[in-house]
Amino acid sequence: MYCKKCGEKTEGTNNLCFKCQSINKNKITKRLFDFIFSGRIGRLRYFFYIILFSVIFSIPFGIMKEIFGMEAVLTIFNFALFVFIPITAKRLRDMGFSGYYAIPIHILGLISDLSLLSYVVGLYLLFKKGDDHINKYGDILQTTKKMKIIMFFVLIIFLILSILFLLAPLFI
């Protein structure tokens, strides 16, 4: 690969030219786009990401609601959709469906009369086994033993913190 600015040869897939210090932004943007919007994830990773991002976003939701009111919460919620839609799209692709179905799934959750349907779809995504073979969206992403151990401990910590937060009002 060659630098677009000075023409110097760069090493491997390196995006930084050591001669002129320019960065090939197109490759970085493409990698970020591919990380967010391509590939597939299995049930365990889907569950882990949903729990992790729910915890991450619940803290600002609570703070913003207390300080600024419901409008600020809706702003953060709209930002949270940009995180949950790609996760759902990857899970859908694991089952052989198009990732574009993630958008109507999350829109269903916003409509109060249809939010129960969104929960049913979420449970389906959580429990339905993905394709066992390579599909048109890529190969199976294997969860390593190390990743399973990390997920286990994060979920245990989440469970303990949830119980403590539920019991806290009893002791105050």
pLDDT along the chain (172 residues), means of 10: 69 60 60 70 86 77 73 68 84 88 81 75 88 81 81 83 78 72
Asked whether residue 59 is assigned to any structural domain, the reply reads: yes
User: Do 43 and 103 reside in the same domain of the chain?
Assistant: yes
User: Do 3 and 52 reside in the same domain of the chain?
Assistant: no
User: Do 23 and 80 reside in the same domain of the chain?
Assistant: no
Strand-pairing partners, residue 138, are: 135
Number of domains the chain contains: 2
List the domain range (segments joined by +) for residue 24: 1-37
User: Do 11 and 57 reside in the same domain of the chain?
Assistant: no
- Please tell me whether the overall predicted TM-score, pTM, comes out greater than 0.85 for this model: no
pLDDT at 29: 65
Instruction: Please give the Cα distance from 151 to 14 (Å, whole number).
Output: 31
User: Do 50 and 129 reside in the same domain of the chain?
Assistant: yes
pLDDT at 20: 63
Q: Exposed, middle or buried: residue 170 (CB in 10 Å: 0-12, 13-18, 19+)?
A: exposed
pLDDT at 16: 60
Instruction: Please give the Cα distance from 170 to 172 (Å, whole number).
Output: 6
User: Do 33 and 46 reside in the same domain of the chain?
Assistant: no
In angstroms, the first-to-last Cα distance of the chain is 63
pLDDT at 31: 64
* DSSP per-residue letters across 113-145: GGHHHHHHHHHHHHHS---SS-BTTB---PPPH
